């Protein structure tokens, strides 16, 4: 989604801002713009499309100056166009703003401002902020106070950066529901919507809380609340380094991140498994251990890929920890009347830790008295800070819009959680040991699957001509089928649908013909025979079948047209391996269709609007 970068210091601001915008590209966007404070006022450049187009646009303009802001826009109000691209300005062109989020009362504010003579140049909700600041400045003659006064009139969400020609060498940043991080350098300071564009310059950062604003000059910073209380909070050191956010020899982040799977499993497990004792030590859950032991019910909330991980988690926790679990889309949860009490544990799963739907569902669950636990990848993210307790994924930065390695880490955390809760309840030592041992085996088993990458690539060549695909799975790999289909839709734009194998005969089977191939999860597990029957039903209707099967299985090839084998593991852990060929298949299908898997159209890496 939208991204913000700002710089104030001694260096030329433009190259730093453009570099930052490049690093924010992974969030998904449709246009980009910059505003730089030069000796003769603030100059801007905007372009629809890629940051590279903006960089080209900047070449012809004199955008010299040591302070500025930049923005990548993902359209919500007003289509992608130059006039809707940020930074936006006021009537006097003295105040420039870059905004992430949605101003819910913008229409009302726009009407009020129009009545007193303001003219608007864009269709965006964001532009009202610049005009409100213009208005307030006339009274306060102080940028900080003018921004503060403008923000008090807004309803909705914002992550904001403001510069003004009336007070050069100064950036004001503010946050309400959309993340803002401040970076500190030597004689220079930065602002951004996440840490990634700042990592090449500094690792000393401070995350603003909702309702806080910061004023940055080259030498100093202050943080205060909208009610003007000074906030004293120390900066933190961000451990990720900039190199981890590079492609490292791979052609795409998507491929790099899929191939990181085995490392991710090791990192997620590190220091957490006591294999001999069949136990999982999860430090972040210590404060709620009694609640976990006595809880009557678990609800898992998540969106997209994280939702699929939650579905696998439901099966793991019910089977091995013996506790009732329900899984719900975070986006539905708060709009109905979920029955929750203090004996309910709500688990929120989110890679980014910023997904607005998940965040609002967490707030609703807390209001209703539940204990909320987070499974989050991004350290210090809003969700990580708002939950009562949590487990970090340790998957490292995931740049591709397609969530791949984060999914692997979510499943591993859920398996750890199953051991953790299960051993407090009904799980025997031997079962705990068995799961722990199998978890440790997963990295090398996953490496083996990568040996099939060439084969999967050639299958993708064969299947790229189809416009529709069915993904079929059952029990633990029911969710794997949906996740495989989601990957294909997101990146290759082939229409792919997940379906529970048992459900197929209740409707979906009507779609099957020779133009509608099926990817079937046919592992040698407790539903193997049922899956083989389903495959035969598809073959009987001339449907082509590509099966994911267990190494050594001689039978499946008799029914399926194409097979990729994966090593045997515990049924509950099989989704961790089974999704890998599906991720690779989606990646290669996307390349076959000459599309960019890292940046699919219309999608954003972190969805910070509801
Ligand atoms: O950051 P989150 O895990 O909360 O994001 C949830 C979904 O938006 C995300 O998984 C989305 O579905 C991905 N694009 C999937 O590849």
In a domain, 227, yes or no: yes
Q: Tell me, yes or no, whether 203 and 261 share the same domain.
A: no
In a domain, 609, yes or no: no
* Active-site choice (43, 256, 291, 605): 605
Ligand 1 center–CA 584 separation, angstroms? 18
- Residue at which a domain ends, from 395, 430, 448: 448
DSSP string, 42-101: EEEEEEES-HHHHHHHHHTS----SEEEEEEE--SSS-S-GGGSSSEE-TTS-EEEEEES
Structure tokens at 86: 């940020």
Q: Tell me, yes or no, whether 190 and 216 share the same domain.
A: yes
- Indicate if ligand 1 lies below 6 Å from the C-beta of 66: no
**Residue 2 confidence (pLDDT):** 85
Q: Tell me, yes or no, whether 396 and 340 share the same domain.
A: yes
pLDDT tens-digit readout, 222-261:
999 998 899 998 888 887 666 566 676 788 999 999 999 9
Mean of pLDDT values over 89-116: 94
User: What's the mean per-residue pLDDT of the chain?
Assistant: 93
Ligand 1 center–CA 507 separation, angstroms? 28
Say how far residue 345 (Cα) sits from the centre of its chain. Answer: 23
Ligand 1 center–CA 483 separation, angstroms? 11
Residues 126-154 as b or e (16 or more Cβ within 10 Å = b): bbbbbbbbbbbbeeeeebbebbbbbbebb
**Residue 77 confidence (pLDDT):** 80
- Report the CATH number at residue 180: 3.60.20.10
Give the number of the atom of ligand 1 that is nearest the alpha carbon of residue 351. Answer: 3
Look up the pTM and report it: 0.77
- Indicate if ligand 1 lies below 6 Å from the C-beta of 607: yes
- Indicate if ligand 1 lies below 6 Å from the C-beta of 328: no
Give the number of the atom of ligand 1 that is nearest the alpha carbon of residue 404. Answer: 16
In a domain, 141, yes or no: yes
402 pLDDT more than 90: yes
**Residue 141 confidence (pLDDT):** 96
**Residue 247 confidence (pLDDT):** 73
pLDDT tier, 465 (very low <50, low <70, confident <90, very high otherwise):
very high
**Residue 159 confidence (pLDDT):** 95
Residue 383: helix, strand or coil by DSSP? helix
Number of domains the chain contains = 3
Q: Cα(202)–Cα(242) distance, rounded to whole angstroms? A: 10
**Residue 605 confidence (pLDDT):** 77
Mean of pLDDT values over 20-28: 82
Give the number of the atom of ligand 1 that is nearest the alpha carbon of residue 401. Answer: 14
Q: Cα(222)–Cα(227) distance, rounded to whole angstroms? A: 14
Ligand 1 center–CA 605 separation, angstroms? 7
Q: Which of 333, 382, 607 to mutate to test the pocket of ligand 1 (most atoms within 8 A of CB)?
A: 607
Residue 301: helix, strand or coil by DSSP? strand
Which region, left, alpha or beta, applies to residue 542 given φ > 0 means left and ψ of -120 to 50 means alpha?
left
Q: Tell me, yes or no, whether 193 and 220 share the same domain.
A: yes
In a domain, 610, yes or no: no
Q: Which residue CA neighbors atom 14 of ligand 1 most closely?
A: 402
Q: Tell me, yes or no, whether 156 and 270 share the same domain.
A: no
In a domain, 604, yes or no: no
- Indicate if ligand 1 lies below 6 Å from the C-beta of 304: yes
Q: Tell me, yes or no, whether 465 and 438 share the same domain.
A: no
**Residue 347 confidence (pLDDT):** 98
Ligand 1 center–CA 310 separation, angstroms? 12
* Active-site choice (2, 58, 303, 499): 2
pLDDT tens-digit readout, 148-202:
999 999 998 899 999 999 999 999 999 998 889 999 999 999 999 988 899 889 9
Q: Does 605 qualify as catalytic in the annotation?
A: yes
In a domain, 607, yes or no: no
Ligand 1 center–CA 441 separation, angstroms? 27
Q: Tell me, yes or no, whether 290 and 429 share the same domain.
A: yes
What angle do the packed helices 127-140 and 143-152 form, to 10 degrees?
130
Q: Does 2 qualify as catalytic in the annotation?
A: yes
Q: Tell me, yes or no, whether 163 and 87 share the same domain.
A: yes
In a domain, 11, yes or no: yes
- Residue at which a domain ends, from 448, 464, 493: 448
- Residue at which a domain ends, from 211, 244, 277: 244
- Indicate if ligand 1 lies below 6 Å from the C-beta of 301: no
**Residue 28 confidence (pLDDT):** 67
Give the number of the atom of ligand 1 that is nearest the alpha carbon of residue 406. Answer: 3
Q: Domain residues for 456?
A: 451-599
Q: Which of 28, 302, 304 to mutate to test the pocket of ligand 1 (most atoms within 8 A of CB)?
A: 304
- Report the CATH number at residue 553: 3.40.50.10490
**Residue 266 confidence (pLDDT):** 93
| Preceding omega of 601 cis (within 30 degrees of 0) | no
- Indicate if ligand 1 lies below 6 Å from the C-beta of 361: no
- Indicate if ligand 1 lies below 6 Å from the C-beta of 381: no
Q: Tell me, yes or no, whether 508 and 578 share the same domain.
A: yes
Give the number of the atom of ligand 1 that is nearest the alpha carbon of residue 402. Answer: 16
Structure tokens at 280: 């999982």
Q: Tell me, yes or no, whether 99 and 83 share the same domain.
A: yes
Mean of pLDDT values over 516-533: 96
Q: Which residue CA neighbors atom 12 of ligand 1 most closely?
A: 304
Residues with Cβ within 8 Å of 353's Cβ and at least 6 positions away in sequence, in order, are: 374, 376, 377, 378, 381, 382, 383, 384
- Indicate if ligand 1 lies below 6 Å from the C-beta of 401: yes
Q: Tell me, yes or no, whether 210 and 276 share the same domain.
A: no
Q: Tell me, yes or no, whether 181 and 284 share the same domain.
A: no
Distances (CA, A) of 68 to 33, 103, 133, 174: 11, 23, 17, 16
Ligand 1 center–CA 277 separation, angstroms? 35
Q: Cα(58)–Cα(65) distance, rounded to whole angstroms? A: 13
In a domain, 608, yes or no: no
**Residue 257 confidence (pLDDT):** 94
**Residue 248 confidence (pLDDT):** 66
């Amino acid at each position: 989604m939208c991204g913000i970068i700002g710089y104030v210091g001694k260096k030329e601001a433009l190259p730093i801002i453009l570099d930052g915008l490049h690093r924010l590209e992974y969030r998904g966007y449709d246009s980009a713009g910059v505003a730089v404070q030069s000796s003769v006022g603030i100059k801007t450049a905007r372009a629809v499309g890629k940051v590279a187009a903006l960089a080209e646009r900047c070449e012809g303009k004199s955008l010299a100056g040591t302070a500025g802001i930049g923005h990548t826009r993902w359209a919500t109000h007003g289509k992608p166009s130059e006039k809707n691209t940020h930074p936006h300005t006021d009537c006097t062109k003295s105040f420039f703003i870059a905004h992430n989020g949605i101003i819910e009362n913008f229409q009302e504010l726009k009407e009020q401002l129009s009545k007193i003579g303001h003219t608007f140049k864009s269709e965006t909700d964001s532009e009202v902020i610049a005009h409100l600041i213009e208005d307030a400045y006339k009274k306060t003659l102080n940028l900080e106070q003018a921004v503060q006064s403008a923000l008090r009139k807004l309803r909705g969400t914002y992550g904001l950066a403001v510069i003004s020609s009336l007070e050069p060498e100064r950036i004001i940043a503010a946050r309400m529901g959309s993340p803002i991080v401040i970076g500190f350098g030597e004689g220079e300071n930065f602002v951004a919507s996440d840490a990634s564009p700042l990592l090449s310059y500094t690792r000393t950062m401070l995350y603003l809380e909702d309702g806080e604003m910061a004023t940055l000059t080259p030498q100093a910073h202050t943080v205060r609340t909208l009610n003007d209380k000074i906030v004293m909070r120390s900066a933190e050191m961000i451990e990720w380094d900039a190199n981890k956010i590079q492609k490292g020899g791979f052609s795409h982040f998507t491929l790099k991140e899929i191939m990181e799977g085995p490392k991710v499993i090791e990192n997620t497990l590190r220091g957490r498994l006591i294999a001999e004792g069949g136990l999982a030590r999860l430090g972040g859950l210590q404060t709620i251990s009694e609640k976990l032991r006595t809880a009557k019910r678990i609800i898992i909330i998540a969106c997209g890929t994280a939702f699929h991980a939650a579905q696998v988690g439901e099966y793991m926790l019910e089977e091995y920890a013996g506790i009732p679990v329900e899984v719900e889309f975070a986006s539905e949860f708060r709009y109905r009347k979920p029955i929750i009490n203090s004996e309910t544990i709500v688990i929120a799963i989110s890679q980014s830790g910023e997904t607005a739907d998940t965040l609002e569902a967490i707030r609703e669950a807390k209001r209703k008295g539940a204990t909320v636990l987070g499974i989050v990848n991004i350290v210090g993210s809003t969700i990580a800070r708002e939950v009562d307790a949590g487990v970090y994924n340790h998957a490292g930065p995931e740049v591709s819009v397609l969530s791949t390695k984060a999914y692997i880490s979510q499943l591993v955390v859920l398996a750890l959680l199953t051991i953790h809760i299960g051993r407090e309840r009904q799980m025997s030592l031997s079962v705990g040991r068995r799961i722990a041992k199998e978890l440790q085996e997963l990295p090398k088993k996953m490496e083996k699957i990568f040996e099939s990458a060439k084969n999967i690539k050639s299958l993708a060549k064969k299947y790229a001509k189809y416009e529709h695909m069915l993904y079929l799975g059952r029990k633990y790999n029911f969710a794997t089928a949906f996740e495989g289909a989601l990957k294909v839709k997101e990146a290759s734009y082939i229409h792919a649908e997940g379906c529970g194998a048992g459900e197929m005969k209740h409707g979906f089977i009507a779609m099957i013909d020779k133009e509608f191939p099926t990817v079937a999860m046919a592992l040698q597990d407790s539903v193997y025979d049922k899956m083989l029957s389903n495959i035969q039903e598809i073959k009987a209707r001339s449907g082509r079948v590509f099966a994911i099967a267990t190494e050594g299985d001689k039978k499946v090839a008799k029914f399926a047209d194409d097979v990729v084998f994966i090593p045997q593991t515990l049924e509950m852990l099989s989704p961790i391996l089974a999704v890998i060929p599906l991720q690779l298949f989606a990646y290669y299908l996307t390349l076959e269709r000459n599309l960019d898997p890292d940046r699919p159209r219309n999608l954003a890496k972190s969805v910070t609007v509801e």
